[in-house]
Amino acid sequence: MTDNDKKAIVLFSGGLDSTTCLAMAQAQGFAVHALSFSYGQRHSIELDKARRCAAQLGVDRHLVVDIDMRAIGGSALTADMAVPKDRPLDDEIPITYVPARNTIFLSYALAWAEVLGAFDIFIGVNAVDYSGYPDCRPEFIAAYQNMANLATKAATSGDGSYRIHAPLLHLTKAQIISAGLELGVDYAATHSCYDPDAAGRACGRCDSCRLRLKGFAAAGLTDPAAYVEDN
């Protein structure tokens, strides 16, 4: 908790990337308002971990918004489809892609920012070690920011300009991990797996696990998170 009135909204899943992004926003002096979504994701254990992780990081507020992505479907993360395992990471956009997910998440962040009088929104997207999702690329972030500044009363009435911060955009996974460790992030508390077991242990084989494990290996470190089996 801070007594700073420079507020920022941080999109926060409790995963490796968004937790690092949150720590970066705090390091920049922002009073962090973390925003998570309950969107019918299969890995709902993510939300429990996100709640604990946000508390551990001492955010100013953590809001979990219920949104209904299952009604729309179209993704292995929200519909009844198998999460792919061991697929080549340089292949095409996988079925774990959730249509317009970051667009929807940023739109709620924008709404909350406007209510709070905040103009800074952080999102932990990354266009280096990622799954090729179009809404993780710099041109998307720039176009979103431009739209946000035309969409809202706060921006169009001259109170300020929205800034979408994506501090991980050009970092490798290993660089993200190193930066987070310097800021004191406890990666054992973070959760990245698309398909954890009932005890919340990561599968080690989905895209998200493999990108994470590859990152720790490249940084010369061992991932402290719990996995179903040793990887």
Distance, CA of 207 to chain centre:
15
Total binding residues toward its own copies, as defined by CB under 8 A: 45
* 29 or 99: CB nearest its own copies: 99
* 79 or 221: CB nearest its own copies: 79
For residue 11, give the H/E element and its range: strand 7-11
Beta partners for 121? 9, 164
CB of 186 to its own copies, least distance (A): 28
* Residue 73 makes contact with its own copies by CB under 8 A: yes
| x/- track of binding to its own copies for residues 46-65 (CB under 8 A) | -----------------x-x
C-alpha distance from residue 28 to each of 33, 155, 177 (Å): 14, 22, 18
Q: Which of 28, 87, 89, 108 binds its own copies (CB under 8 A)?
A: 108
With CA atoms as reference, report the closest residue to 80 among 102, 95, 67.
95
* 30 or 144: CB nearest its own copies: 144
The two structure tokens encoding residue 46: 């993510």
As a three-state string, the secondary structure of 78-117 is: CCCCCCCCCCCCCCCCCCCCCCCHHHHHHHHHHHHHHHHC
CB of 9 to its own copies, least distance (A): 11
CB of 160 to its own copies, least distance (A): 14
| x/- track of binding to its own copies for residues 128-167 (CB under 8 A) | -----xxx-x-xx--xx-xxx-xxxxxxxx----------
Measured CA to CA, the distance from residue 178 to residue 184 in angstroms comes to 10
Per CB under 8 A, residues contacting its own copies are 63, 65-69, 71-74, 93, 97-104, 107-108, 110-112, 114-115, 133-135, 137, 139-140, 143-144, 146-148, 150-157
